[in-house]
A = this chain, B = another copy of it.
Amino acid sequence: MPRPTPHVPPLASLVPTGESFSRWPVAILGATGAVGQTFARLLADHPWFEVVELAASERSAGKRYAEVTRWIEGVMPDALRDREVLPCDPSAVRSTIVFSALDSSAAGTIEPAFAAAGKLVFSNAKNFRMAPDVPLVVPEINGDHLAIVEAQRRARGWDGAIVTNANCSVTVASLPLAPLHEAFGLSKAFLATMQAVSGAGYPGVPSLDILGNVIPYIADEEPKVETELQKILGRVDGERIAHAPFVVTAHTNRVPVEHGHTVCMSLGFERRPSVDEVLEVLREWRGSELTRDMPSAPERPIVVSDAPDRPQPRRDVMAGDGMSVTVGRVRADHLLDIRLVASGHNTIRGAAGGSILNAEIALGAPSRAHGAVAAAALAG
């Protein structure tokens, strides 16, 4: 099932032309929270994007970013400390390109308002992930789903658009599943996750709940795992995404790990592969052509480990600068065909980093892209 490779990034034409710039100016919505901080951190030295606006709740608006933000990882970039926080209001935010780290309680109204106002919203929120006309994109897998943005804009009458990335544990699971599904036809999947506390944001999981403990429950997580995977591995069918027809059953658990979600999988396929065939497919896969040379794309979306006891979140979480998923323990299954373990960074690959890579494949480099846009506009 070869995927079409668009030669022109699909969304760049939506960014208005005007003054030239070397980097796309972007805003972060929900910039003070855990995911917002990860956007800020990953975009601090980004070659294509420059964070020029930070927006958050009314409570924080008008204050300095450093004043209202309890920085979680390392040290806040100096360039952002004194930036005034804007309200999450499309009239207050000038950037056309917007990364949304909003809570789902806020995203449901704010993101459509931004999209209606012509903004391109690359969202980490769950609210629109499962809407049939909203692309749910893991770039190496289904970047071509971006094509339904046109249908989305027509149907909703938006000048802009919403593009979503997947839930963090879904993202980690999806990367090894994609090439295996393509090669062998996934039919059944048991997934048991062991998820890091950073997946719950900040303050998130109280330490009294998780020190020396496991919590075998994450609210609303299992349904997400079971349905988002079907959409990501589905295909564009006219104006909507048709889900892939496999069945997933999930057990989601919280463990005392800072970063890195780990997923144990038992998998059944239509064409029952051997362990060696699975390893070969995983080792050779490089993901969609769309991600070639993208700044945030790892050299390999999947790293296969030979060690008997890997992947491990603490040791493998930074593979590919946090954008690769490490896969190991590929072995036969007694009930289905194959067992394996995957682990990846939940706040980089599974959240902000994935969303940034979505924007990269959708927009292209600012010089080329915007030049093309400008040229086209002039020609028009």
Contacts and interface: CB of A to CB of B under 8 A. Distances in A.
A211 B207 contact: yes
A197 interface: yes
A227 B336 CA distance: 17
Interface string A68-90: 00001111000000000000000
Given A197-B207, A256-B255, A319-B75, A312 B247 contact: no
Interface stretch (A139-147, A172-180, A326-334, A356-364): A326-334
A249 B335 contact: yes
Interface in A156-212: 188, 190, 192, 194, 197-198, 202-212
A318 B74 contact: yes
A269 to B, nearest CB: 14
Interface in A317-360: 318-319, 328-329, 333-336, 339, 341, 343
Given A204-B208, A207-B197, A249-B333, A214 B308 contact: no
A313 interface: yes
A278 interface: no
Contact of A251 (B192, B226, B318): B192
B313 A213 contact: yes
Given A192-B264, A207-B197, A256 B253 contact: no
Contacts of A328: 216
A198 to B, nearest CB: 6
Nearest to A332: B249
B312 A215 contact: yes
B214 A334 contact: no
Interface string A210-225: 1111111100000000
A276 interface: no
Contact of A256 (B211, B215, B266, B341): B211
A251 B339 contact: yes
Interface in A98-114: none
- Identical copies of this chain, number: 4
A151 interface: no
Contact of A255 (B194, B249, B266, B336): B194
Contact of A188 (B209, B213, B335): B335
A258 interface: yes
A301 interface: no
B215 A309 contact: yes
A215 B314 CA distance: 10
Given A190-B335, A266-B251, A335-B190, A202 B206 contact: yes
A308 B217 contact: yes
A214 B203 CA distance: 17
Given A188-B335, A190-B190, A206-B205, A214 B251 contact: no
A311 interface: yes
Interface string A2-36: 00000000000000000000000000000000100
Contacts of A312: 213-216
A315 interface: yes
Contacts of A333: 249
* Shortest beta-carbon contacts, A-B, top 3: A192-B192, A203-B206, A251-B264
